[in-house]
Amino acid sequence: MAQFGPSQSSILNGDKSKATATELQEGIYKFEFIVVDDGGLNSSSIVFINVERSHNQPPIALAKNVTLTLPRTIVALNGSLSTDDAGIVEYKWTPYDNVPACISPLDNSETQSVLFLNGLVEGEFLFNLTVFDQQKASDTVTITLTIKNGEERLNSVEIYMDQKIEDITYRLRRKFEGRLSAALTAQISEASTVFVHFTDFGQDPKTGNLRVVFHAEYSLEDLTTRQARDLTTPPKLEVVEVRRAVKILQKENVMIQEFSIKQIEPLSALRRKFQRYPICNRLIPCLKDAKDRFKRKRFRRKKRYERLDSDSNKAVINMMSSSSLNSESDDESLFEAKTLRERNIRE
């Protein structure tokens, strides 16, 4: 019995008068049935079977939340666990409106089961995954992407070099990596080996200088010896503190001249210049409130001494004159009473 269709089905009792076809999918199948008699004569018949879905079940969107630490530059959100009774035909990833625009998908992966993102920054961000089946039924799930500043990111070093990015080949990169590793290993007494991990190579748009970002890690014992002793246990590495690494590298004059290095600083040095201290967040509202009160006080004082018309002006002058006379007479009476009291005391 020959067959044609959307999938290869299984035929039970294909050599009998009654046969059973299994593992069918939605679509049209063509079966050819052939009978042969004792004399070797045969005849055939074509049978078409249309397989339809009785009731469509909507798909189920499934994906797990993801947490990572910088300086990782790419993250994957996996929606391949989503299911449907007849198969998912379309995936759609949608970021929330407050997701930074620098976090962008790679290679049109926003329409694939796995979404790849780069341009990562610290924060917590939400993405919607919507899946569709053949009947356009859909389901949506919200994924949380949490990005943290890891110890490696916080201890990253930023180097600016008077070179073009296209001139840095992998040979020069390996050479520069070896020089950095040798300089740090020689000055860190507790380190057996220092490993340098580059996380960014870019061109500064203002100066045109090459910008290199990296962090360094070191092992407390010989790495090859440890790996030979236990291959199943990954080596534990300690991150080199950024200020310590910068201080060591800034003294490497030969390396600085060889690679035309202009600047060696912690990665967060420029941002730290403009960062507010916590006390500023408390003082600034107080200073603003005091400034507003001072403006209101000046306004009231200015309004108090506005010019009056002639009649009102005369009335105010008379009032001030009478009050000044009364105050002078009161002062004289008080002075006389005080003098009389002093005389009585002397007598």
For residue 12, what pLDDT is reported? 78
Q: What is the pLDDT of residues 198-208, one digit of tens each?
A: 988 888 888 88
Which residue has 């007494």 as its token pair?
189
For residue 231, what pLDDT is reported? 44
For residue 258, what pLDDT is reported? 93
pLDDT band at 324; cut points 50, 70, 90: very low
* 66-149 CATH pick, 2.60.40.10, 3.20.20.70, 3.40.50.720, 3.50.30.30: 2.60.40.10
Give mean pLDDT, residues 202-217: 90
For the record, the structure tokens of 2 come out as 């020959």
For residue 57, what pLDDT is reported? 84
Q: What is the pLDDT of residues 110-146, one digit of tens each?
A: 999 999 999 898 999 999 999 998 888 999 999 999 9
For the record, the structure tokens of 304 come out as 């108090």
For the record, the structure tokens of 282 come out as 């408390």
Contact 32, 5 (CB under 8 A): no
CB atoms closer than 10 angstroms to residue 279: 8
Spatial separation of the C-alpha atoms in residues 141 and 181, rounded to whole Å: 46
Give the residue, 238 or 54, on which the prediction is more confident: 238
Q: What percent of the chain has pLDDT over 90?
A: 38
For residue 211, what pLDDT is reported? 92
Of 179-183, 246-250, 303-307, the range with the lowest mean pLDDT is: 303-307
Helix, strand and coil content of the chain, in percent to the nearest 5, comes to 35, 35, 35
What amino acid occupies position 90? Answer: E
Q: Which residues pair with 210 in a beta bridge?
A: 161, 203
Give mean pLDDT, residues 299-326: 51
Evaluate the omega torsion of the peptide bond into residue 59 and state whether it is cis, within 30 degrees of 0: no
Spatial separation of the C-alpha atoms in residues 145 and 128, rounded to whole Å: 11
User: Does position 276 have pLDDT exceeding 50, yes or no?
Assistant: no
Give mean pLDDT, residues 163-188: 92
Spatial separation of the C-alpha atoms in residues 12 and 273, rounded to whole Å: 78
CB atoms closer than 10 angstroms to residue 140: 11
User: Does position 328 have pLDDT exceeding 50, yes or no?
Assistant: no
For the chain, give the number of residues.
347
For residue 270, what pLDDT is reported? 45
- 252: CB partners within 8 A, 6+ apart: 179, 183
Tell me the fold of 152-269: Alpha-Beta Plaits (3.30.70)
pLDDT band at 168; cut points 50, 70, 90: confident
Q: Which residues pair with 126 in a beta bridge?
A: 144
Give the residue, 241 or 302, on which the prediction is more confident: 241
For the record, the structure tokens of 83 come out as 């299911």
Helices 170-187 and 242-249 cross at an angle (nearest 10°) of 100
Of 134-138, 251-255, 264-268, 331-335, the range with the lowest mean pLDDT is: 331-335
Measure CA of the first residue to CA of the last residue in the chain; give whole Å: 149
Spatial separation of the C-alpha atoms in residues 113 and 81, rounded to whole Å: 9
What amino acid occupies position 282? Answer: R
Output phi, psi for 159, to 5 deg. -125, 135
For residue 150, what pLDDT is reported? 83
Spatial separation of the C-alpha atoms in residues 328 and 322, rounded to whole Å: 10
Which residue has 């740090």 as its token pair?
184
- Please enumerate, as own/partner, the contacts of 53-58 that have beta carbons within 8 Å and a separation of 24 or more: 53/26, 53/85, 53/86, 56/85, 56/86, 56/133, 56/135, 56/137, 57/84, 57/85, 57/137, 58/84, 58/133, 58/137, 58/138, 58/139
For the residues of 92-118, what is the DSSP string, one character each?
A: EEEE-TTS-TTSEESTTGGGSSEEEEE
For residue 116, what pLDDT is reported? 96
For residue 146, what pLDDT is reported? 95
Annotated domain spans of the chain:
2-51, 66-149, 152-269
